[in-house]
Amino acid sequence: MRESGILMHITSLPGPYGIGSMGREAFRFVDFLSRAGQSYWQILPINPTGYGDSPYQSCSIFAGNHYLIDLQALLAQGLLREEELEAVAWCRREEKVDFGILYENRLRILRLAYSRFADWERLKAFCEENRAWLLDFSLFMALKERYQGKPWYEWPRELKFRDKAALAEARRSLSQSVRFFSFVQYLFYTQWQALRDYAHGKGIRIIGDVPIYVPRDSVEVWCAPQLFQLDEELMPTVVAGVPPDGFTADGQLWGNPVYRWEAHKKSGYRWWLRRLAFAGTLYDVIRLDHFRGFEAYWAVPYGEATAKGGVWMPGPGMDFFRAIQRELPRLSMIAEDLGFLTEEVLELRDNTGYPGMKVLEFAFDSREPSDYLPHTYIPNTVCYVGTHDNMTMRQWFETSSQESVAYATEYLALTKKEGLVWGAIRAAMASVSNLCVVQMQDYLNLGAEARMNFPGTTSDANWTWRMHSGAANRRLAKKIYALTRLYDRLGTQKES
């Protein structure tokens, strides 16, 4: 079945209080997707943001990002008051998220909601249902608060090494703080389920992202250090990254601890199966980040200033994916098969049966393989104009070499009347890929100001773009619908 979707993270929605949320605008965006004939809404990880405000550097693989909680819903429930929210200047510019302001104010506001909360039976039921991850997460957050945000590896030694008596004392002395952080997760998941149910009712499925790595300062590394390449003092021996390429002379030094894959295999990949099973309850399709790292990963000695000194090390390979397909046979996944690809990586992807990604922007760049040209695609792929890690299509046309733009113009039969960006979208929609996903920024014909992320960098240019209110309007939906219908991508959406 041929289908299409739109890529835009929840944080990029318009609305009050400084960041897109799971509130009214999210429901309106689902309506927009339905009117536009789309089958999917692709988002980025919904876990708490971490270093550099990145959703790919989260302290938990299970917890939800409290910045996404709709505060207007809490107003309606009587848990917050208008004057409390109006007392905060939530952003400097409506079109840009200010994570500093959120960091200083969001939890403080949620504590006010907690002070008025009374439905303890529902909270208790939520805590019991999510006990397997929530107990450790809530304690982790309470301890971070006690130690002024320090990472767990800088806590007192008995807590760093998870001494049972020390953990029991912490749970007792921080019981109120632990319950508060559990309450925050209750709010998040109550709202997330409502949004997802609404999307399903409109025929919209969610594509969610599962990052390959977790940061060192995460619940997962604190609770299960034996699954990561750490020494006896819990210091990383090697960290993750990618080698130098045509885009980055030094490579990208991500800094995440890498997995001790032999330990995962010995356990039957229990940690990963639990992670993916949970993700499968949140999303309808999982985009598995950095797929090539499961065939071989770039390991950089801890302490190196760049990623240049790394080496390729073998990943778990098909043994890992056989375990997933055996234990979680209904899990639907997309392989993020970008980056430095070898025959071994391509073979692994093909053996899994997962669709890979085709990024149209890469097709006309001499630094990338030519198999991104649409005439080379096969149906079992997902075609993207660009992703959150790329330029917007308009930016690409404005900044690429004359030769690349001329090649794209000729190949895609682009005209000024149609518009260069809409011509590129047309080509993606016309491809044989079973699924076509287009960034919202490209449908809005936005330039460099709307780029979502610059990989390997940290700045307030990353993760902060927000769509203007009213941009996702009926006129645009009608135009997208016409293109979607023309190229037989309405999928299960009924014509209207």
Which listed residue (25, 136, 217, 289) is catalytic? 289
Task: Burial-class residue 403 by CB neighbours within 10 Å (0-12, 13-18, 19+).
Answer: exposed
344 is an active site residue? no
Beta carbons of 438 and 7 less than 8 angstroms apart: yes
Best CA proximity match to 456, nearest among 242, 147, 220: 242
Residues 6+ apart with CB under 8 A from 200: none
Beta carbons of 139 and 223 less than 8 angstroms apart: no
336 is an active site residue? yes
- What single-letter amino acid sits at 416? K
Residues 6+ apart with CB under 8 A from 150: 144
Task: Burial-class residue 257 by CB neighbours within 10 Å (0-12, 13-18, 19+).
Answer: buried
Question: At 126, phi and psi to the nearest 5?
Answer: -60, -45
Q: Buried b / exposed e across 167-179, counting CB within 10 Å, b at 16+? A: eeebeeebeebbb
197 is an active site residue? no
What is the number of other CB atoms lying within 10 angstroms of the CB of residue 126?
Answer: 18
Which listed residue (98, 209, 336, 361) is catalytic? 336
Q: How far apart are CA 223 and CA 217, in angstroms?
A: 11
Beta carbons of 378 and 371 less than 8 angstroms apart: no
**Helix intervals (H) in 328-419:** 343-352, 393-399, 402-412
List, by residue number, the catalytic residues. 289, 336, 389
